[in-house]
Amino acid sequence: MFEMESLGLRAVGSHCSLSEMDDLDLNRALLDRPRLKIERKRSFDERSMSELSRHDSPRGRSVLDTPLSSARNSFEPHPMMAEAWEALRRSMVFFRGLPVGTLAAVDNTTDEVLNYDQVFVRDFVPSALAFLMNGESDIVKHFLLKTLQLQDSEKRVDRFKLGKGVMPASFKVSHDPIRETDHLVADFGETAIGRVAPVDSGFWWIILLRAYTKSTGDLTLSETPECQKGMKLILSLCLAEGFDTFPTLLCADGCSMIDRRMGVYGYPIEIQALFYMALRCALSMLKPDGDGRECIEKITKRLHALSFHMRNYFWLDYQQLNDIYRYKTEEYSHTAVNKFNVMPDSIPDWVFDFMPLRGGYFVGNVGPAHMDFRWFALGNCVSIMSSLATPDQSMAIMDLLEHRWDELVGEMPLKICYPCLEGHEWRIVTGCDPKNTRWSYHNGGSWPVLLWQLTAACIKTGRPQIARRAVDLIESRLHRDCWPEYYDGKLGRYVGKQARKYQTWSIAGYLVAKMLLEDPSHIGMISLEEDKLMKPVIKRSASWPQL
Ligand code: GLC
């Protein structure tokens, strides 16, 4: 029998019922692995899992540190691992002698630095996970504290003051050689392209705080009044009452990983999935005292409404597509089936061919008379990691990935979105963005960083063989191409037109994927099990069994 401690997973705190449930469910999921129909021989995972049950972790963190575990399992680490670690360490940024983050890229092949010499919050997440999985938690702690201090500073765009809870998109350590001091300069969107605040930063911050807590067992950080306040400030931006009629979060274009105009304004899946995950992470860490209790109540209600909305209205599979295709429009009253008045004529042709009979995904966006049918990698993977997707939906997302491997993975994992925008549509939607031409960058480009999220989703659904296939592709090229930021082309065959080399999150994403495959118990840091209280309400198609 696996014990929680022997799995290296700790409950985040005694006050948090959800996190305890996570662990129990994770235990069960791991024990129930055969039930997940894993088609493979006795694998790597099983070996490391059973080994894991025999080792007791004195510190409660994962017992198999990367270098050690590779040796212990007699798996020769791929030579790329050592190079990746070196490159990751070269990207480390120090503030008054303490490590506080990693640069977005350390590309010595070009003088054009742009803003890649900064520590981006979203880019640091895979670095942080790699460090945590390797037992190096200091840099993560310092990063969390430094960004928290930055949140406290006054943020303005011209004469407009931004909300208190906004977290920076990035920051830079600038060194004054005369006074011999360091100081931090942050960007909250006021210097970013398009002047958009990063909605994802705050969510990633909360997710990372939980990962740190879960990995180290150190409750003292998340329980500090500063961290509790930081979380509440982030959440108060999203939980405030307004004119909303939906529980999803209304966003401007370019407010997340896709930080340029790409027609993802409205209710983009990436933000909704991160929002859901951050709410659940916060719920497991917030103390129920003072305004904490009120915040917890708000979160619980929002989670309930959000999961209902997403699972019902964002979900698309063969059956649902057929239903939308036959939708009536202009329906008034509560009995409306086509609640958002989506016009069947707005369904793009490609989706009819793309949709397999088995499989499904969360579409890119749903709003009034608006359904963006594009598939987005990050949102779908985070939906699996956070259990926003039900177990059946998670399986269906993986089925689709397998079925549409050439389109979504191709020769370089993983397409940021599918398909690309071209011609007139590209002109209108991107505003003629020359960096986002078809099958490039955010417009259907392939981003190696997404490998870690794909791997996490694979492990969560008990399908590590899919991740291994993707890792093999990465290992055949990434290092030879000097760890590019992204690849171009329908199959992701070409190094991106303007891609940075030695892009840190491409490097860290690879390390995280490898360490997750090697020791699947690491998944507890970045995954939440199904909340049994939030049952899906409607069920459709074969990939989502009938009630
Ligand atoms: C680009 C990406 C963004 C990333 C940044 C730094 O702007 O679109 O997601 O955070 O580069 O790597």
Say how far residue 131 (Cα) sits from the centre of its chain: 17
What confidence tens digit (pLDDT) does each residue in 128-156 have? 999 999 999 999 999 999 999 999 999 98
Q: 442 near 417, Cβ under 8 Å?
A: yes
What confidence tens digit (pLDDT) does each residue in 161-178 have? 999 999 999 999 998 889
Residue 364: what pLDDT?
98
In this prediction, residues 296-313 reach a mean pLDDT of 97
- B/e letters for 268-278, b = 16+ CB within 10 Å, e = fewer, are bbbbbbbbbbb
What confidence tens digit (pLDDT) does each residue in 18-55 have? 344 344 344 444 434 333 333 333 333 333 333 333 33
Specify the residue with its C-alpha closest to ligand 1, atom 3: 257
Q: Which of 332-346, 417-431, 443-457 has the lowest mean pLDDT?
A: 332-346
Q: Report CA(436)–ligand 1 centroid distance (Å).
A: 13
Q: Reply yes or no on whether the pLDDT at 547 is more than 80.
A: no
Distance from C-alpha of 414 to C-alpha of 377, rounded to nearest angstrom: 7
Question: CB within 6 Å of ligand 1 — which residues?
Answer: 104, 120, 122-123, 257, 259
Q: Which amino acid is at 212?
A: Y
Residue 202: what pLDDT?
98
Q: 72 near 51, Cβ under 8 Å?
A: yes
Q: Which amino acid is at 26?
A: L
192 band by pLDDT with thresholds 50, 70 and 90 = confident
Residue 193: what pLDDT?
79
Measured in Å, how far apart are the chain's first and last C-alpha atoms? Answer: 33
Q: Kindly give the number of the ligand 1 atom that is closest to the alpha carbon of 441.
A: 8
Q: Reply yes or no on whether the pLDDT at 299 is more than 60.
A: yes
In this prediction, residues 177-187 reach a mean pLDDT of 92
Say how far residue 289 (Cα) sits from the centre of its chain: 30
- Supply the Cα-derived Rg of the chain in whole angstroms: 22
Residue 472: what pLDDT?
97
334 band by pLDDT with thresholds 50, 70 and 90 = confident
Q: Report CA(485)–ligand 1 centroid distance (Å).
A: 9
Give the residue, 194 or 313, on which the prediction is more confident: 313
Q: Report CA(512)–ligand 1 centroid distance (Å).
A: 19
Residue 533: what pLDDT?
61
Distance from C-alpha of 387 to C-alpha of 542, rounded to nearest angstrom: 20
Q: Report CA(201)–ligand 1 centroid distance (Å).
A: 12
Q: What does the mean pLDDT of the chain come to?
A: 86
What confidence tens digit (pLDDT) does each residue in 453-490 have? 999 999 999 999 999 999 999 999 999 999 999 999 99
In this prediction, residues 83-96 reach a mean pLDDT of 97
Q: Report CA(123)–ligand 1 centroid distance (Å).
A: 7
Query: Which range, 56-60, 176-180, 510-514, has the best average confidence (pLDDT)?
Result: 510-514
Which residues fall within 8 angstroms of residue 403, CB to CB, at 6 or more apart? Answer: 356, 358, 359
Specify the residue with its C-alpha closest to ligand 1, atom 9: 257
Q: Reply yes or no on whether the pLDDT at 313 is more than 60.
A: yes
Which residues fall within 8 angstroms of residue 450, CB to CB, at 6 or more apart? Answer: 377, 378, 381, 413, 414, 416, 509
Q: Kindly give the number of the ligand 1 atom that is closest to the alpha carbon of 118.
A: 6
Q: Kindly give the number of the ligand 1 atom that is closest to the alpha carbon of 104.
A: 12
Specify the residue with its C-alpha closest to ligand 1, atom 7: 259
Q: Residue 517's closest CA among 140, 136, 2, 78?
A: 78
What confidence tens digit (pLDDT) does each residue in 70-88 have? 444 446 789 999 999 999 9
Q: Measure the CA angle with vertex 483, ends 82 and 495; round to 5°.
A: 155
Q: Report CA(115)–ligand 1 centroid distance (Å).
A: 9
In this prediction, residues 493-514 reach a mean pLDDT of 97
Specify the residue with its C-alpha closest to ligand 1, atom 12: 104
Q: Report CA(399)–ligand 1 centroid distance (Å).
A: 29
Q: Report CA(478)–ligand 1 centroid distance (Å).
A: 18
What confidence tens digit (pLDDT) does each residue in 3-28 have? 333 333 333 333 333 344 344 344 44
Q: Kindly give the number of the ligand 1 atom that is closest to the alpha carbon of 505.
A: 12
In this prediction, residues 49-62 reach a mean pLDDT of 35
Q: 497 near 488, Cβ under 8 Å?
A: yes
Percent of the chain's residues with pLDDT above 70? 84
